[in-house]
Amino acid sequence: MLILNKTAGVFSKPPKRKVYEFLRSFNIYPGTLFLHKLVLGIETSCDDTAAAVVDETGNVLGEAMHSQTEVHLKTGGIIPPVAQQLHRENIQRIVQEALSVSRISPSELSAIATTIKPGLALSLGVGLTFSLQLVDQLKKPFIPIHHMEAHALTIRLTNNVEFPFLVLLISGGHCLLALVRGVSDFLLLGKSLDIAPGDMLDKVARRLSLIRHPECSTMSGGKAIEHLAKQGNRFHFDIKPPMQRAKNCDFSFSGLQHAIDKTIMQKEKEEGIEKGQILCSAADIAAAVQHTTACHLAKRTHRAILFCKQRNLLPQSNAVLVVSGGVASNLYIRKALEIVTNATQCTLLCPPPRLCTDNGIMIA
Ligand code: KG4
Ligand code: ZN
């Protein structure tokens, strides 16, 4: 049953709460008194249970998060019913914690915003069911949120970015390139025709058994690839970037994954090791796959920038490219994109790493 402590369980000292209430209702414009609008954001679209409270000026009052990464690393990928169960076990505690660290009671909320799509249906269902019960219990408005739109707009919390701007979202579940013309006005320019880059990197990391590598055992696949790539030589493998002749801004990563699979199999034979053991050439393979991924992302983004500029969809100078999603935390990939933005007189912006990956703040 859904029970959220009305006082969020933190107000053991009433005078302090009075101070907070006063501060919240205090306005810098003398003679007027207004209450800040506070939105609770809830995110359960994939493998993170996250919640946060943000006010209408973008101030983050508090957040809480439970990551399932460790469990999914052990099972070798996300198993939707397992993710669902973990969301169920954690959502109430996480929402409670977000409210507690924000030092607000549920009744002070102005609205509840929750990711409704896209994502894993079973995971999304947990957040949605919980939110709708809360909405009913508290009699607050509900704001349905598109997960990708939230990722795309997060940059406006930390930077003063005007519309229109270009956004590249690269994560474990998504890969898209869009022109953001307004808060809910997006022009999709390109998407992955198969799997997302993070998914491909996770699969390569699993095939290389990087979980058994002493330096990478707690890292996500993409992070493990980035870590190992620093010790490798990409020139030891020649892996062609996908879709070199395609005259559009779409992406593809499954061909790359299969090419790497073949390379790994070949190397296992050469090094005389079994599947599951770590190859001597693992770091070189990581460097090659990271480089090919970066080139592919950079080339398709370059096409999109040129297309937008030709059609005056973006300003001719100082146009902004925002890159977000878990894969955007990869510094090698960022560097490749920076080469493109420098060459096209654009500015590359990435939200800070904790806002690049899934979180409750972007939803709120
Ligand atoms: O945005 P995110 O937290 O979740 C969704 O997929 O929506 O992204 C997670 C993905 C995983 O595939 C993970 O391997 C990848 O982002 N990732 C990275 C890095 N850190 C996380 N990929 C490349 N380099 C990284 N440093
Ligand atoms: Zn995401």
| H or E element at residue 51 | strand 48-55
- The predicted-structure confidence for 84-123, as pLDDT tens digits, reads as follows 999 999 999 999 999 999 999 999 999 999 999 999 999 9
Distances (CA, A) of 185 to 152, 191, 364: 11, 17, 18
Does 330 contact ligand 1 (Cβ within 6 A)? yes
**pLDDT exceeds 70 at position 139:** yes
- Dump the DSSP string for 156-192: HHHS--PSSEEEEEESSS-EEEEEEEETTEEEEEEEB
**pLDDT exceeds 80 at position 142:** yes
- What's the predicted TM-score (pTM) here? 0.86
Banded model confidence at residue 265, pLDDT cuts 50, 70, 90? very high
**pLDDT exceeds 70 at position 15:** no
- Its CATH class, for the domain covering 36-140, is alpha beta
Does 202 contact ligand 1 (Cβ within 6 A)? yes
Separation of alpha carbons 44 and 124, rounded Å? 5
For the chain, give the mean pLDDT. Answer: 90
**pLDDT exceeds 60 at position 54:** yes
Q: What pLDDT does residue 89 have?
A: 97
Percent of the chain whose pLDDT exceeds 90: 79
Stretch 312-339: mean pLDDT = 95
- Are 36-140 and 165-351 equal in CATH topology? yes
- The predicted-structure confidence for 185-243, as pLDDT tens digits, reads as follows 999 999 999 999 999 999 999 999 999 999 998 898 999 999 999 999 999 998 988 99
Handedness of CA 154, 158, 164, 166 (dihedral sign): negative
Does 351 contact ligand 1 (Cβ within 6 A)? no
Banded model confidence at residue 327, pLDDT cuts 50, 70, 90? very high
Residue 116 gets which letter from DSSP? E
Q: Is 82 exposed, middle or buried (0-12, 13-18, 19+ CB in 10 A)?
A: middle
Is 95:4 a contact under the CB 8 Å cutoff? yes
* Residue bearing the CA closest to ligand 1, atom 8: 326
Give, in degrees to the nearest 5, the angle at Cα 49 between 45 and 53: 100
**pLDDT exceeds 80 at position 6:** no
Domain-by-domain residue ranges, the chain? 36-140, 165-351
Which of ligand 1's atoms lies nearest the C-alpha of 227?
Answer: 26
Tokens of 43: 């995110």
Handedness of CA 285, 290, 120, 50 (dihedral sign): positive
Banded model confidence at residue 158, pLDDT cuts 50, 70, 90? very high
Residue 119, helix vs strand vs coil: coil
- Dump the DSSP string for 85-106: HHHHHHHHHHHHHHHHHHT--G
Q: What pLDDT does residue 77 have?
A: 80
Side-chain-facing half-sphere of 256: CA atoms under 13 Å: 34
Ligand 1 centre to CA of 349 (Å) is: 17
Instruction: Give me the residues near ligand 2 (ion), CB cutoff below 5 Å.
Output: 171, 358
165-351: which CATH architecture?
2-Layer Sandwich (3.30)
**pLDDT exceeds 90 at position 258:** yes
In 183-313, DSSP assigns E strands to: 185-191
Of all ligands present, the nearest one to the C-alpha of 146 is 2
* Residue bearing the CA closest to ligand 1, atom 13: 222
**pLDDT exceeds 70 at position 21:** no
Give, in degrees to the nearest 5, the angle at Cα 349 between 346 and 353: 160
Separation of alpha carbons 239 and 293, rounded Å? 10
Does 197 contact ligand 1 (Cβ within 6 A)? no
Q: Which among 234, 146, 142, 217 is positioned nearest to 185, based on CA atoms?
A: 146
